[in-house]
Amino acid sequence: MHDLPLYAIPFFAVSLVLEAIVTTRARARGATLIGYERRDTLASLGMFVFGNVLFGAMGKGLWLWVWIEAHAHRAFELPSDAWWVWLLLFVGDDLAYYVFHRVSHRCRVFWAAHVNHHSSTHFNLSTALRGSWTTPFLGGVFWVPLAWLGFPPEQMLVMHAISLVYQYAIHVEWIGTLGPLELVLNTPSHHRVHHGRGAEHVDRNYGGILIVWDRLFGTFTEERERPDYGLTENLAGPTRFDLLHIAFHEWRAVWADMLAAGTWREMLAATLGPPPRPTRREGRRDPSPDELNPPSPGRGRSGGRGSRRRVSRAV
């Protein structure tokens, strides 16, 4: 059960193809959906193969060992077969994900690992598979307290897998709002906001399965119009589809800022502080997804640093 994301690969493949067909036909009928773009989708799938499968397995093995050690010194003895333990674990796992996700946007090194998931200007099921190559080695620390509290690591892996599969399913444009469920669950509408790059969308709606944490901690924003997806400074040029550039462009920027730091304070800010924000650029229109993803590779600059830093957008 803890390998659910791997067993779900056939489901991922079939659902992705079906969604591509549905959105393509809907766009042909005039629907305002961004849909799929071949090179963008291939880049997302490439990131999945290395990030979620190869590096994901390596990171999972590392953190499983840490969780087992923490569980060996657990504070409480929890029965593994009790329903209420699973309920508490569901709540604890989702809260841990919220904290992890929020830190991944507000701490520079965690953002360097997470940024590639936001680097697509599309929002579809392939975007959900655009996994990080470095997050698997960093993110597990946020679940260590659950193991120390007494939750068995094997149960933690199961709950983690369930959360990942649920989050895959909400990366869709064609599902609107879901009525009362919007109050409790992280829905496609809420997650579209999270992937938006406008000032009103950046660093909002961090929830995994539940949206209640965002409502409680003041990070919730309701979808009022279709967001413009991607980074506030999108990757540009042919390298926006290069897997190594997608995976490591922000790490290179962090390293450059560390080398340029004149003091230890500046070095700490370059690594543990929030992602820096660029200068305001009034009057500049952000390129559309079609301009960023033309039918054939065009000439252009090799791509920016891909920061999700806040900027003002011209209207």
For residues 107-127, give the mean pLDDT.
Answer: 96
pLDDT of residue 42: 96
Please give the DSSP secondary-structure letter assigned to residue 210: B
Which residues span the domain enclosing 174? 4-230
Bridge partner list, 185:
210
* Residue 68 belongs to a domain: yes
* Residue 284 belongs to a domain: no
* pLDDT tens by residue, 1-52: 556 666 788 899 999 999 999 999 988 888 889 999 999 999 999 999 988 7
pLDDT of residue 7: 74
For residues 205-227, give the mean pLDDT.
Answer: 97
Which range (196-200, 227-231, 268-272, 290-294) has the least confidence?
290-294
For residues 178-183, give the mean pLDDT.
Answer: 97
- Close Cβ partners of 41 (under 8 Å, ≥ 6 residues apart): 16, 20, 122, 124, 126
The type of residue at 7 is Y
pLDDT of residue 299: 36
Has residue 173 got a pLDDT over 80?
yes
- Helix (H) / strand (E) element for 225: namely none
* pLDDT tens by residue, 149-170: 999 999 999 999 999 999 999 9
pLDDT of residue 308: 47
Has residue 275 got a pLDDT over 50?
yes
pLDDT of residue 5: 63
More confident: 313 or 96: 96
* Residue 204 belongs to a domain: yes
What is the average pLDDT score of the chain? Answer: 87
More confident: 286 or 206: 206
pLDDT of residue 301: 34
Task: Count the domains in the chain.
Answer: 1
229 closest CA partner among 178, 282, 287: 287
* Residue 272 belongs to a domain: no
* Residue 279 belongs to a domain: no
pLDDT of residue 229: 96
- Close Cβ partners of 237 (under 8 Å, ≥ 6 residues apart): 299, 300, 301, 302, 303
Position 276 confidence tier, pLDDT thresholds 50, 70, 90: confident
* Residue 237 belongs to a domain: no
Position 295 confidence tier, pLDDT thresholds 50, 70, 90: very low
Question: What sign does the CA torsion over 93, 95, 99, 101 have?
Answer: positive
More confident: 306 or 60: 60
* Residue 251 belongs to a domain: no
Which range (168-172, 292-296, 308-312) has the least confidence?
308-312
Rounded to the nearest 5 degrees, what angle is found at the Cα of 236, between the Cα atoms of 175 and 297? 90
pLDDT of residue 53: 82
Has residue 232 got a pLDDT over 50?
yes
pLDDT of residue 219: 97
**How many other CB atoms are there within 10 angstroms of residue 119's CB atom?**
25
What the block records as the tokens of 144 is 């260590």
* Residue 208 belongs to a domain: yes
